[in-house]
Structure 1
Amino acid sequence: MVFTGIYEQNNEKVFVIRDTIEVRVPIKFYSQLKKKYTDEEIVSIHEPKVLRHHYTGREMIYITKESGIPLIGHTAFGLIDRGTNLIQVRPVSGCNLNCIFCSVDEGVTQTRKTDYIVDTDHLVEEFAKIAALKGNDVEAHIDGQGEPFLYPYMVELLEKLRKVPQVKTISAQSNGMMLDEEKIRSMDGLIDRINLSISSMDERRGYALAGTKKYSVEHVKNVARMLSESSIDVLLAPVWVPGYNDEDIPRIIEFGLEIGAGKKFPAFGIQNYVRYQFGKKVKGKAMRFPDFFDRLAEYEKAYGIKLKLSPSDFGIHKSPSLPKVFKKGEKLKLDLIAPGRVHGEMLAVERGRVIGVLTDKPVGTRVNAEITRITDNVYVAVTGSS
């Protein structure tokens, strides 16, 4: 157990484990056991453990095989199979930034209430079952609702994913702030590509877009350079927010060309800002997609590169997927077993899947519910009569 911080707060002893997880132990309990046990032993035997995300401060649920919470069915954690040879791997939720354009309202938020972290062995074991359906060119794409590199066991996860026979490519998303020379060196040879979110070349505009002065454009640029000098490919993935970073887009392209981004994969993945229902809303008009693609075409011509991408540019194609276990409109009786990701949501388990149930009822309640979403084996239900 690696403690990267120990402090006292609100009559609790707070242990920070590998920068991400907080275990909170009442001072009275801690004082009683300290005479006999080490800090590691106290944290290990403390029940019930009160886990919190070190960056968001939210309650954190540790999902293990023994927890009984499946890894298929929710978008906040686990695995997502969208019917291609790419499997999304989501080991942790929560973010160290507060981007003003965030599609899932991460950082300072009024909607998110719970974070999740998944045991590495459990995650890889379930991943391997899906990969076995796909053929021999599977891409494991590590992403999530937040910053994946907050996961404290990333190198272990990469090592174990690499041993899955069907895996050809391992990639990940990152805002770059958790990466440094040591971490990049530890992943060299394990991961094939990192999609690096960098939306400005200007320091002040960078932390304005990131929603925090803890963000550093220069740090992320240095990370991009270090990645380009390693065996790990780097794809620069800015979010184009009209009226905010228009002048940055050509500068990001020029920077990527300068450092040699895209050794094997495309060098750029420019994204158009979209107002999502539960995402953060930026003032001003969003760019229409026809206009966005016209602008990309102009930059393609100016720089002699490809910017309008499709899944085939990454070797992504249709592939067998897990069968759906529910039908839309199906009515069930469900037991609520854990808090959901957002306010007004709880988790239930049925037929080997986790279901996000839209309800205000507490854990332990049995509810009548109707399945309203089954797309990509992600399940949502609403409560009502059956």
Structure 2
Amino acid sequence: MAHVRITAESDIPLIGSLYFGIIDRGTSLLQVRPSCGCNLNCPFCSVDAGPHSTTRATSYEVELDYLLSAVEEIAPFKGTGVECHIDSPGEPLMYSRLPELVAALKNIDAVSVVSLQTNGTLLDDAKIAALAAAGLDRVNLSLHAFDPGLARQLAGVDWYDIDKVTGAAKAVVASSMDLLIAPVYMPGINDAEIPKLIGFAQECGAGKRFPPLGIQKFERYRYGRTPKGVKVQSWWQFFNRSIKEWEKMSGLHLRLDPGRDFGTVRRPSLPQVFTKGEKATVEIRAPGWIHGEQIGVARNRVVSVFGCDKESGQIRVKIVAAKNNIYVGVPV
């Protein structure tokens, strides 16, 4: 697998890609993606990440100062009260300078909250202390089952230790940081586990400032993985059957609202530079995330070019997706 280090000198912008950089979806929350490596092989992964991936061709790592310079420019544009959510198509804790990133984000005047998505396997006392000292506000913990065997199955690795992860969760709660447990509900697979996870969230003291749980609906994705036996729900079924049932059982409010529960509000988006259907010339700068894809650059944006075997130089593409400043093109 190729590894691409993205620096200011690479001339690869940090807007336009789902894989790295910054994603602005028109709210006061910015997704900050410093890297995309993953140490698990979850059978429900939406992007087929992890060591056993059959589609991934490249990993990316953004140089810290380059990433910070972009956030420092974009966050004030969004206004005050910005949340920087550090996430990844993989595991953000694999980014070696994560505490430094958190501390620097917290020093940006427009940023009021810094949060982190993690599977928890790399959390230990030292990392928890470092993240707390850096000012991290919330850990969103991807925890999908309490049963040890099922937890290992859903992690896709035989070394997954549920006791270590739940111990780390308790340590997060004992620190200055908040904890939100974020399981993916897969009907037919972890039905019996969701009540256990709700009980754990209540018992360990998650949700000091933010909600204790953020239960996610399983979705199928073109380049993702789907576990055998999963029964995909409609959104109506998810909210009006599953979520309502768990709310009655627990007494918790589990249908989350970004504004009420996290203070996320609509804000102007960065200007779109392409429209769907238009044609443009892009410069190929790096291999893409999956086989048969290249990372192109035009108008100071990344364009993911699918079905492209050209590894350098210019290519003419048609923009087939242009939403939230994330651009996908195909050769023409």
Q: Scaled by the length of structure 1, what TM-score is found?
A: 0.83
Residue 264 (structure 2) aligns with: 316
Partner of 2:76: 132
1:136 deviates by 1.2
Match of 2:11 in 1: 68
Q: Which residue of 1 aligns with 2:139?
A: 194
1:147 aligns with 2:95: no
Cα deviations across residues 44-72 of structure 1 (Å, max 9, x unaligned)?
xxxxxxxxxxxxxx221000111100000
Cα distance in 2 between the residues matched to 1:291 and 1:332 = 42
2:120 to 176, 179, 182: 176
Report 1 or 2 for greater relative contact order, CA contacts < 8 Å, sequence distance ≥ 6. 2
Output aligned runs, 1:114-133, within 5 Å.
114-133=58-77
CA-CA distance at 1:358 after TM superposition:
1.3
Say whether the 8 Å CA contact 2:308–2:330 is kept in structure 1: no
RMSD: 1.1
How high is the TM-score relative to the length of structure 2?
0.96
- Pairing of 1:319-330 with structure 2 (within 5 A): 319-330=267-278
Q: Is this contact kept in 2: 1:195–1:236, CA < 8 A?
A: yes
The structural deviation recorded for 1:165 is 0.6
**Does residue 335 in structure 1 map to residue 283 in structure 2?**
yes
1:236 CA displacement:
0.4
After TM superposition, give the deviation of residue 273 of structure 1 in Å.
1.2
Q: Is 1:297 the equivalent of 2:240?
A: no
Corresponding position of 1:84? 27
1:350 pairs with one of 285, 298, 302: 298
Residue in structure 1 matched with residue 172 of structure 2 by the alignment: 227
Per-residue deviation, 1:126: 0.3
- Give the Cα–Cα distance (whole angstroms) in 1 for the partners of residues 255 and 190 of structure 2: 19
> In structure 2, what residue type is equivalent to 1:166?
A
| 1:215 shift after superposition | 1.2
**Following the alignment from structure 2 to structure 1, what is the Cα–Cα distance between the partners of residues 270 and 308?**
30
1:209 to 137, 143, 154: 154
Deviation at 1:84, TM superposition (A): 0.4
What is the distance in 2 between the residues matched to 1:174 and 1:100? 17
| C-alpha contact 1:142 1:172 (8 A) present in aligned 2 | yes
For 2:276 and 2:237, the matched residues in 1 are separated by 36
The 5 A counterparts of 1:241-260 are: 241-260=186-205
Query: Which residue identity is paired with 1:378?
Result: I
Distance in 2 (alpha carbons) for counterparts of 1:122 and 1:199: 34
User: Could you say which structure has the larger radius of gyration?
Assistant: 1
For the Cα contact (< 8 Å) 1:357–1:381, is it kept in 2?
yes
Count how many residue pairs are aligned between Structure 1 and Structure 2: 327
In the TM superposition, residue 142 of structure 1 has moved relative to its aligned partner by 0.3
The answer to whether the 8 Å contact 1:79/1:89 transfers is yes
* 1:374 Cα deviation from its structure 2 partner: 1.3
Counterpart Cα distance in 1 of 2:233 and 2:320: 31
Say which is worse superposed, 150-159 or 362-371, in terms of deviation. 362-371
What is the CA–CA distance in structure 2 between the aligned matches of 1:136 and 1:319, rounded to whole Å? 10
Whole-Å separation in 2 of the counterparts to 1:381 and 1:273: 27
* Matching residue's letter, 1:98: N
Give me the whole-angstrom Cα distance separating, in 1, the residues matched to 2:317 and 2:235.
37
Unaligned runs of 5+ in 1: 1-57
Instruction: Indicate conservation of the 8 Å contact 1:328/1:374, yes or no.
Output: yes
Q: 1:291: Cα distance to partner? A: 2.2
Which runs of at least 4 in structure 1 moved beyond 4 Å after TM superposition? Answer: none
Equivalent residue for 1:287?
233
Match of residue 102 from structure 1? 45
> Which amino acid in the other structure matches residue 78 of structure 1?
G
d(CA) in 2 for partners of 1:375, 1:368: 20
Identity of matched residues, % = 45
Q: What code does the residue aligned with 2:255 have?
A: K
State the alpha-carbon separation in 2 of the partners of residues 364 and 173 from structure 1: 34
Report the Cα distance in structure 1 between the residues aligned to 2:34 and 2:94, rounded to whole angstroms: 9
Deviations 1:288-323 (A, max 9, x none): 322221221111122111101121111111012210
Q: Which amino acid aligns with 1:224?
A: A
2:308 to 360, 366, 385: 360
Q: Determine the C-alpha separation between the residues in 2 that align with 1:172 and 1:337.
A: 29
Question: Which residue pairs with 1:19 in the alignment?
Answer: none
Give the conservation status (yes or no) of the 8 Å contact 1:124–1:161: yes
Distance in 1 separating the partners of 2:309 and 2:27: 36
CA distance in 2 between partners of 1:383 and 1:59 (Å):
22
> After alignment, is 307-316 or 261-270 more displaced?
307-316
SS in 1 for 2:199: helix
Following superposition, the deviation at residue 360 of structure 1 comes to 3.0
| Structure 1 counterpart of 2:110, from 166, 178, 198 | 166
SS of equivalent residue, structure 2 residue 93: helix
Contact 1:333-1:367 at 8 Å conserved across structures? yes
CA distance in 2, matches of 1:91, 1:241: 28
- Hey, what's the Cα distance between the residues in 1 that align with 2:106 and 2:166? 27
